Amino acid sequence: MHYRTLGKTGIKVSPYCLGAMMFGAQGNPDPEDGIRMIHKALDAGINFIDTADFYSQGQSEEIVGRALKGRRDKVVLSTKAHLPMGEDPNMRGNSRRWLTQALDDSLSRLGTDHVDLYLMHRPDPDTDIEETLSVLSDLMRAGKIRAIGSSTFPACDIVEGQWVAERRGLQRMRVEQPPYSILNRGIEREVLPTCLKYGMGAMVWSPLAMGMLTGRYRKGQPMPDSARVKYFPEQMGDARRLDAVEQLIPVAEEAGLSLAHMAMAFVIAHPGVTSAIIGPRLMAHLDDALAGAGVVLDDAVLERIDAIVPPGSDVGRLVPDYDPPAVTDPSLRRRPAGARAAA
């Protein structure tokens, strides 16, 4: 396994990061199976694990914590906070009040006194970024965090965070965790260049486009009986995405690769990407991901991919992505009726 430096942190991580989102009730409910997968990934040379408090409402962190007993010092451990952890409106977000509690809760579930990387799972428009960076800086000084970062932040929010940290003497975000796949290349326009500019590592999620780049979802064929089809039927049945998959399959076949192996190799080929998160639910998923770990795409294959999905473009929309208030709040994009009439 060849290791890469995570931005300017000096921390060395594997190009594949084991994502633990599917460990627990929302994915694989057997904790022993999750522990076996974690051990197998570590034995294969993966030293980077990513989880979050929100995943199965803490169960994922508990499984990771159990699996790392006796092996914690060899692992770069990342977790996240922001998404709701209860009905209380203050049990979410990026405020000092919540992050202080959320981190302690995560450390307890993980069975450790620190995490190597602590990420804000999404932006929080209700909380001043200075407030968030201030508490994260304090938690770093307390020894509970080694480095901080963001997940699915727009480039403008990343830049604002960097400027606030510099002007206020606070700790800088060192890592971004954005979505990235052959079908969703939008971050190539601003997010990845911004990360490179500020020396931030990028650990990308959904490199298989929520499973569409596994070859299981085909145009004109019945959809698999999966949770993704149940919860995201429009996306998984998006004709544009299915058309792109049909064009990508022969590219992979002619290169002697499975579609999934080509998709994983594509994302880690970008110079701005440090690691790609694999999120197995079953041991077979992990085995397949590990089998493709050594795949390197040549320029001819990358150029054929570019011709199907141009650089910087998205084919359809990735549902769990972040929508800023400017998009979700009609009052921020529509003048009052009276003002429109007067104009």
Cα 182 to Cα 60, 213, 214, 332: the distances in Å are: 28, 8, 12, 32
Phi, psi of 17 (to 5 degrees): -110, 130
The set of catalytic residues is 55
- Alpha carbon distance 316, 217 (integer Å): 15
Paired residues of 147 in beta bridges: 117
Q: Which two tokens stand for residue 263?
A: 């998709």
Give first-to-last CA distance, the chain, whole Å: 63
* Residue 86 DSSP one-character state: S
Q: Are 63 and 35 in contact (CB under 8 A)?
A: yes
Q: In one letter, which amino acid is 126?
A: D
Q: Is the dihedral of CA 240, 245, 250, 254 positive or negative?
A: positive
Q: Are 147 and 116 in contact (CB under 8 A)?
A: yes
